[in-house]
Structure 1
């Protein structure tokens, strides 16, 4: 799963190429209601950093697995350096050692080369940015993208070609910036969630409804958790919770077995968060996203439940679980009713 999140960060997107057949078939079109099935019309998938009437800021797709690749890299570098130091110390104190400094040159060069190879992906997590957010500006119909290279670009909502990108065994939503021929990809950015196509369809509808529909109050009710990274660094506990979050109690056994690896990854994640800079939006973006005083829509990490561990371990009480599902169902029903009134009733798949 971690490999699925790396395209665009560790592995650059392919640019200056034509759109593929799959990208054309999987396009998400602005101004068009997305057909779906089931009770959920929209899903935020724990990606919302801040939501108000002016803008919706979401996480990058790399955030959930930050530390997963850095953890093993960190361990390998520490092992190789430790082994080199141990052998060097043993050789130097040995009475039979008669070599000079040249005896250590070759292994030292090998260690340096190995550290260089492992250090490059490590620095994608460390000494970079804590995350790479994307802002959807509802009032001005703009999208502000904080790119991996540190640049901030702003594009009209209608000018972006949104589609799915296959990531090994899963998918994510990407936005393409096309040339004048509307075929050549000049730039690509990703955001939000990596998962199956059904979830991505509902996630896209969450983004589209925010930008285009009159249902902000209902959408705010569907956001149950916001990553606490706005203008601050993530703490160690939050990072550990993000890495080990379970969807059901069936995951308890494999997660216990993988706990040592998760702890290593959480340490690497924490180092990455503490050594990285918090992304800062330019003044132009801040001005463009100005929030009206007393905005009735204001969703952020301050609204998170204090019982996060229960959610992480899939161990919520029946009362809390039922109340949460009732809230989500009610909000989605109201959103669906508004969309049906505007676009007409969309039949469920398999019905006439």
Structure 2
């Protein structure tokens, strides 16, 4: 999946480099609005007149690395155990020949490397933070960002170099995000980068224009708070239920299938993968900690007691059939079918 920029053991966006011409050409200027229709792409956690909290790039797709890593470990460990069992514990009378030892000398490190790789994939999502929120403070004009190591980056909104980010992955193809660069004093050298917005696996360059049309007015327009509040109330209806809590299993199902929401038939066809992804997402959320903003950030983010524009996940409308119950059925069908096929294969091997 699209895990570009994940800063786990130094896999991140390229930094300590000059801006490219492509980045300059695709720049989004803070004072320049977009004419595209606004879309938030299920990214908002909390909203009010003082600040807006949004989720990170990896939150929508969380779960893939978990279940895929488990499969890699099981297949690798099972393959290694099968080979050793056949050679040493199957009751065979023929001696272990030199060619067998040579094969083991190559296969054993390979299986161990695959097991380590599967564990590494699992650790990119499990036992960490449930998500890595970003806070855009309209009043102080500061952006606060959770790094993957749990530290906080605070940078002025007006100093960010915002541009169209492109990444390529063998599994997801080309994906796009609203990329935020923190520049050195020379205004040319990229010192740190993060994704400020991610439209989904099916997003394109135009999707970033739509997200910018949603985000830019909140920080820049005189009536930005009311416009953004109206959009969230009338156009989407859902804020992410991770404000000071872990998402529940229901929302793990909803979020996991959200990017395929217009194609129920695709959800059923893809249910073996999507279902496993939902289970992986639940496990990753269960094993991770909820991020907490430090006191100094909270002190700068005071909300007026009579603020009429406060929105959280508690203001969400009811989750409908096609958002939850149909994906839940697909999950049961997909995971059940996958387990059945694996059981059939294993039983065939042990006959």
TM-score normalised per structure 1:
0.79
Task: Quote the residue 2:126 is aligned against.
Answer: 126
Partners of 1:13 and 1:188 within 8 A in 2 = yes
Q: Which moved more, 1:304-313 or 1:185-194?
A: 304-313
What is the rounded CA distance, in whole Å, between the counterparts of 1:105 and 1:191 in structure 2? Answer: 48
Partners of 1:245 and 1:313 within 8 A in 2 = no
Q: Does 1:291 align with 2:303?
A: yes
Partner-residue secondary structure (3-state), 2:64: coil
Partner-residue secondary structure (3-state), 2:29: coil
Change (3 A) 1:110 1:32: closer
Q: Cα offset for 1:197?
A: 2.2
What is the rounded CA distance, in whole Å, between the counterparts of 1:197 and 1:309 in structure 2? Answer: 31
Task: Quote the residue 1:170 is aligned against.
Answer: 175
Partners of 1:57 and 1:133 within 8 A in 2 = yes
Change (3 A) 1:85 1:294: farther
Q: How far does the alpha carbon of each residue in 1:136-156 deviate from its partner, in whole angstroms, 9 at most, with x for none?
A: 011111100111222101111
Partners of 2:126 and 2:284 within 8 A in 1 = yes
Aligned CA-pair RMSD? 2.6
2:89 to 88, 92, 101: 92
Q: Cα offset for 1:180?
A: 1.6
What is the rounded CA distance, in whole Å, between the counterparts of 2:93 and 2:280 in structure 1? Answer: 40
**Count of residues in Structure 1 that have an aligned counterpart in Structure 2:** 306
Task: Quote the residue 1:74 is aligned against.
Answer: 70
Task: Quote the residue 1:31 is aligned against.
Answer: 31
Task: Quote the residue 2:255 is aligned against.
Answer: 242
Q: How far does the alpha carbon of each residue in 1:176-201 deviate from its partner, in whole angstroms, 9 at most, with x for none?
A: 11112111101101133232222211
Q: Does 1:266 align with 2:278?
A: yes
Q: Does 1:281 align with 2:293?
A: yes
Partners of 1:246 and 1:314 within 8 A in 2 = no
Q: Does 1:228 align with 2:237?
A: no
Q: Does 1:49 align with 2:45?
A: yes
Q: How far does the alpha carbon of each residue in 1:98-136 deviate from its partner, in whole angstroms, 9 at most, with x for none?
A: 77xxx8985554432211122222211111111111000
Q: Cα offset for 1:304?
A: 1.5
Q: Cα offset for 1:32?
A: 2.4
What is the rounded CA distance, in whole Å, between the counterparts of 1:248 and 1:93 in structure 2? Answer: 50
2:219 to 211, 217, 227: 211
Q: Cα offset for 1:248?
A: 5.7
Residue ranges of structure 2 left out of the alignment (5+ in a row): 169-173, 328-351
Change (3 A) 1:97 1:291: farther
What is the rounded CA distance, in whole Å, between the counterparts of 2:253 and 2:224 in structure 1? Answer: 34
Higher RCO (C-alpha 8 Å, min separation 6):
1
Q: How far does the alpha carbon of each residue in 1:53-110 deviate from its partner, in whole angstroms, 9 at most, with x for none?
A: 11100011111111123322211211222343455556436364877xxx89855544
Q: How far does the alpha carbon of each residue in 1:228-281 deviate from its partner, in whole angstroms, 9 at most, with x for none?
A: 1111112223112212225565x2233212101111111211111111111111
Partner-residue secondary structure (3-state), 1:112: helix
Change (3 A) 1:278 1:98: farther
Task: Quote the residue 2:5 is aligned against.
Answer: 7
Change (3 A) 1:117 1:226: same
Task: Quote the residue 2:196 is aligned against.
Answer: 191
Task: Quote the residue 1:340 is aligned against.
Answer: none
